Structure 1
Amino acid sequence: MEQDFSVALAIMGLLIIIAIVGLLIWGKVNPIVGMTLIPVIGALLLGFGFEELQEFFASGADQVMSVVIMFIFAIIFFGIMQDSGLFNPLVRGMILLTKGNVVIVAMGTAVIAVFAHLDGAGATTFLLTIPALLPLYKELNMSKYLLLLIVSLSAAIMNMVPWGGPMARTASVLDADLNQLWYPLIPLQIVGLILAIGFACFLGFREKKRIAKRVENGEIERNDNVDVRAIADDFSRRKVEEAEEAEEKPVKHPAMIWINLALTVAVVGLMLLDIVPPEFAFMLGVAIALPINYPNVSDQMGRVRAHAPAALMMAAVILAAGVFLGVMNESGMLDNIALAMVGILPDTVGPYIHVIVGILGVPMDLLTSTDAYYFGVLPIVEATASEFGVPAASTAYAMIIGNVIGTFVSPFAPAVWLAIGLAGANMGTHIKYSFFWIWGFSIVMLFVAYLMGIFTI
């Protein structure tokens, strides 16, 4: 009887995961709806009562609450920093620094994208980088798909930060400390940034040859008089206009850039030194950033309202994931799925399942959404790999590193559609142009991470 119930738990768990992943892929349900209703219905069909469901929910909510708080305040904090114009001088300076050289433009694009993605929000990154750099790319006859590739790749490396979606989701699934989970990835991010700049340099030389060939064939005319300063001035003008159009006006003083920079460094430092938890660090950051940038109380509330939709949407998704994880873990479904998979998998494959899935992480981005990958696939792989003695952290790192690089080549990432629209590009062409470069880069990052001892085989 007990064995029959274990089989029922495994089958129902798989059905729940397949239903959630499938509906998310097809865009038939919102993640909040799918990850709340489907597990609850499955648990009820197995005979669990509402009293037990309440316990499942409480367990799942406890597991994700610190991540929810951190996400809300991190998005608001970096939103305020963007509003204050903290990153604008960097972008302008990088545009001027390129001096119209194709290779330097490509390398500068990588650097700009990394800093633009400090807030962990893809939409903000694309809004900051593409309108600023697209005129420069057009003047130099550079491909807009090269721009999309470099920005997507570089931003994805930065997306490993705790306030980025993949890390937050992973910490929720593993019930792990977000900071402790991130620390081993910091050296990899630094190496990844260096590799991204080097890769951008290679792509720049490749693009330079392509442009020279087009000039030689008479398809385009060589443009040796690119007015980089005019492009930089246009970027600055648009940012000033955006600030003037905003309902709430930040304090305008040259010193504010340095004050906000010092505040950002302090908030990140509090996290890195493990002085306070990340959620408290960002809460303090928001509490300080609001009054120094917006002395008027109504303006402060206006900025919170402006960034609340993005913050609350992600928080709601993670809370819904808490329901899913609570039901799957506390009911025993996940354990029984793992045991069933262990019984099926050959012993030679089991210890490497996390690496195999990690290598396939980018292609899986074209088949699953981010939520489906981390909330549907990761729990099964982690539970299965643990039966072969693989530490949970190793499984998580292999899957994060293998997948995160492909975040912005996936049509299931809403921010990618924004990027496509801003660049006047085509999604299919973007995938065709970028996919294999990004997949290859993710495999290189996995290899580097293995050599650095971040995950084991």
Structure 2
Amino acid sequence: MTVVLGFAMIIVFMTLIMTKKLSPILALILIPTIFGLFAGAGLGIGDMVMEAIESMSSTAALLLFAIIYFGIMIDVGLFDKLVEFILRIAGQDPLKVVLGTALLTGAVSLDGDGSTTFIVVTAAMLPIYRRLQMSPVVLTCVAGLINGTLNIVPWGGPTARAASALHLDANSIFAPMIPSLAAGLALSLVFSYFMGLSERRRLARKGVAWVKGARAAEPGPDSGQPLTGVAAGPSAGGPATQALTINRTGTQTAEEDETTGHSLTDTALDPDRPTLRPHLFWFNLALTAAIMVLLIIDILPLPYLFMIGTVLALMVNFRSIREQHEELAAHASSVITVVAMVMAAGVLTGVMSGTGMVDGMAQWLVDVIPASWGPYMAVITGVLSIPMTFFMSNDAFYYGILPVLTETAAHYGVPAVDMARASITGQPVHLQSPLVPAILLLVSLAGVELGDHHRKVLWRALAVSLVMLVVGVLVGVIAFG
């Protein structure tokens, strides 16, 4: 019964958010509560949820102060030069912008932390997407694919967990998987290329043109076609020039207005924003670089690291208490949305763990695997890792399920290291899970509905995971038969 309720809860939850019948926050709280009561949790459901929320408190603190910190850096102008450089290289071509998003995500993802990666990528790229009227769902899809694929690096979470659970060396798991990683990244770049082409064609159908420099082709006033020009104002003609579609009377259409909204980057690249601190550029760059170095060498807890960074950034860039309060208030909406989603995810994980749904579903999957499939346990584990790491935490899968599957595989001569390698191939799909705080952060900052993101990214992430698994088999690092 618990197994049936577990699978039914997942199906209902995914259906409601992908069809937009409920917002993710409401679905994360309401659906697990209903199914948890049906599973017999009773009043104990409160303790289950609070235990899960307590375990996620450090993640919530990290996201809270990281959002504020990078919000300050955006406001004071740290990323303006980076965005202008990207625009100078990419021009006004959506294809180049999408490929630039992929390359930037790949570079920043090497730190092994998804939340930081998404904040940096969103801060740098979302203003460009808004200026060119590109879909932010493309940004979240590309960033999610690339980061999910690179999530298997040894200093990332899943490989370290697999090594710990099976008492293996992390590098012995990762190094032979480099061909699989390369194949996954190559396919992700192919997907990015075609999404960029699709954006280019979509905007062309809307009559939006891309300009290089300050000039743009304009049809005659009697042609009946939209006129295309560039944004007036201080930045017109510069690298951050904004393409606009204007009607025959010279007024801006509503198309651009549809690209605006409340997000971390609403005011990014505005050359007249009062929060700019160009004279403090080198201080802010040095502070951010120091935080990134400390993040990588891991000598301080990340939430505390960003707390200290936020305090220093506020004190130096905004001297008066009034300015500091205003700066904090400016990012309140982003903080509330993300932290609320993380806390809401605690309801789902708490109910699934507390009612035994996770354990029951895992044991059911192990029981239904026929004995004749034993020699293929590594590949089976790779396939199972795709849905299982999507619907449960990495901790639950790697510490609770992988050891059981590995013990079963040992009876058929399948090495534990092959099982570990296969288990990490599901990470491109795992990272898109609503249980992963980083992906909740990404869609919140980009102003994208989680259901819209899932519709665009899930089948692509599935393809990347399967390609990584197949390449692992073909190069002989994942046992098959």
Shorter-normalised TM range: 0.5 to 0.7
Q: Which residue does the alignment assign to 1:398?
A: 425
Deviation of residue 259 (structure 1)?
1.2
Deviation of residue 276 (structure 1)?
0.8
Q: Which residue does the alignment assign to 1:319?
A: 343
Cα pair distance change 1:88/1:159, threshold 3 Å: farther
Deviation of residue 384 (structure 1)?
5.1
Deviations 1:186-211 (A, max 9, x none): 998xx8799679958x959x98xx99
Judge which range, 264-273 or 110-119, deviates more. 110-119
CA distance in 1 between counterparts of 2:444 and 2:42 reads 40
Deviation of residue 11 (structure 1)?
2.6
Q: Which residue does the alignment assign to 1:153?
A: 142
CA distance in 2 between counterparts of 1:453 and 1:85 reads 49
Q: Does 1:251 align with 2:250?
A: no
Letter in 1 for 2:239: A
CA distance in 2 between counterparts of 1:10 and 1:419 reads 32
Q: Which residue does the alignment assign to 1:285?
A: 309
CA distance in 2 between counterparts of 1:113 and 1:125 reads 10
Q: Which residue, out of 205, 213, 233, partners 1:227?
A: 213
Is the contact made by 2:74 and 2:268 (CA closer than 8 Å) also made in structure 1? no
Is the contact made by 1:58 and 1:326 (CA closer than 8 Å) also made in structure 2? yes
Is the contact made by 1:250 and 1:294 (CA closer than 8 Å) also made in structure 2? no
Judge which range, 315-324 or 441-450, deviates more. 441-450
Q: Which residue does the alignment assign to 1:387?
A: 404
Letter in 1 for 2:339: A
Q: Which residue does the alignment assign to 1:80?
A: 72
Deviations 1:217-242 (A, max 9, x none): xxxxxx9x94389341636xx97873
Letter in 1 for 2:19: W
Q: Which residue does the alignment assign to 1:355?
A: 382
Deviation of residue 49 (structure 1)?
3.2
Q: Which residue does the alignment assign to 1:335?
A: 359
RMSD: 5.6
Deviations 1:315-359 (A, max 9, x none): 112212212222221222221122222222335266434522567
CA distance in 1 between counterparts of 2:368 and 2:188 reads 43
What SS does the aligned partner of 2:331 have? helix
CA distance in 2 between counterparts of 1:10 and 1:198 reads 34
CA distance in 1 between counterparts of 2:17 and 2:82 reads 37
Cα pair distance change 1:15/1:401, threshold 3 Å: closer
Q: Does 1:294 align with 2:318?
A: yes
Deviation of residue 100 (structure 1)?
9.3
TM-score if structure 2 supplies the norm length? 0.59
Is the contact made by 1:358 and 1:402 (CA closer than 8 Å) also made in structure 2? no
Cα pair distance change 1:257/1:383, threshold 3 Å: same
Is the contact made by 1:394 and 1:456 (CA closer than 8 Å) also made in structure 2? no
Deviation of residue 15 (structure 1)?
2.8
What SS does the aligned partner of 2:41 have? coil
Cα pair distance change 1:78/1:115, threshold 3 Å: farther
CA distance in 1 between counterparts of 2:31 and 2:98 reads 45
Cα pair distance change 1:11/1:274, threshold 3 Å: same
CA distance in 1 between counterparts of 2:478 and 2:300 reads 26
What SS does the aligned partner of 2:237 have? helix
CA distance in 2 between counterparts of 1:30 and 1:436 reads 22
CA distance in 1 between counterparts of 2:290 and 2:91 reads 33
CA distance in 1 between counterparts of 2:56 and 2:304 reads 15
CA distance in 1 between counterparts of 2:213 and 2:281 reads 27
CA distance in 2 between counterparts of 1:84 and 1:340 reads 54
Deviation of residue 41 (structure 1)?
2.9
Judge which range, 279-288 or 96-105, deviates more. 96-105
Between Structure 1 and Structure 2, the one with more helix by share is 1
TM-score if structure 1 supplies the norm length? 0.62
Q: Does 1:36 align with 2:29?
A: yes
Q: Does 1:305 align with 2:329?
A: yes
Unaligned stretches of 5+ residues in structure 1: 1-7, 136-143, 177-181, 212-222, 362-371, 421-426
Cα pair distance change 1:91/1:451, threshold 3 Å: farther
Matches within 5 A, 1:10-409: 10-50=3-43, 52-97=44-89, 110-111=102-103, 120-121=118-119, 124=123, 126-131=125-130, 134=132, 152-153=141-142, 156-158=145-147, 199=189, 226-227=212-213, 230-232=237-239, 234=241, 242=270, 244-245=272-273, 249-253=275-279, 256-347=280-371, 348=373, 351-356=378-383, 373-374=390-391, 385-389=402-406, 397-402=424-429, 404=431
Cα pair distance change 1:78/1:233, threshold 3 Å: closer
Cα pair distance change 1:306/1:159, threshold 3 Å: farther
Deviations 1:415-441 (A, max 9, x none): 799699xxxxxx99x96xx99987766
Deviations 1:125-162 (A, max 9, x none): 55322255x49xxxxxxxx79x9868853574257899
Is the contact made by 1:382 and 1:395 (CA closer than 8 Å) also made in structure 2? no
CA distance in 2 between counterparts of 1:185 and 1:29 reads 39
CA distance in 1 between counterparts of 2:147 and 2:446 reads 20
CA distance in 2 between counterparts of 1:451 and 1:12 reads 38
What SS does the aligned partner of 2:272 have? helix
Deviation of residue 64 (structure 1)?
1.1
Letter in 2 for 1:242: D
Deviation of residue 401 (structure 1)?
2.4
Unaligned stretches of 5+ residues in structure 2: 109-114, 165-169, 202-208, 215-235, 243-265, 408-415
Is the contact made by 1:354 and 1:398 (CA closer than 8 Å) also made in structure 2? no
Deviations 1:20-40 (A, max 9, x none): 222222222233322223333
Letter in 1 for 2:379: Y
CA distance in 2 between counterparts of 1:376 and 1:241 reads 37
Is the contact made by 2:148 and 2:429 (CA closer than 8 Å) also made in structure 1? no
CA distance in 1 between counterparts of 2:402 and 2:20 reads 30
Is the contact made by 2:102 and 2:146 (CA closer than 8 Å) also made in structure 1? no
Is the contact made by 1:57 and 1:326 (CA closer than 8 Å) also made in structure 2? yes
Cα pair distance change 1:332/1:149, threshold 3 Å: closer
CA distance in 2 between counterparts of 1:257 and 1:193 reads 39
Cα pair distance change 1:196/1:289, threshold 3 Å: farther
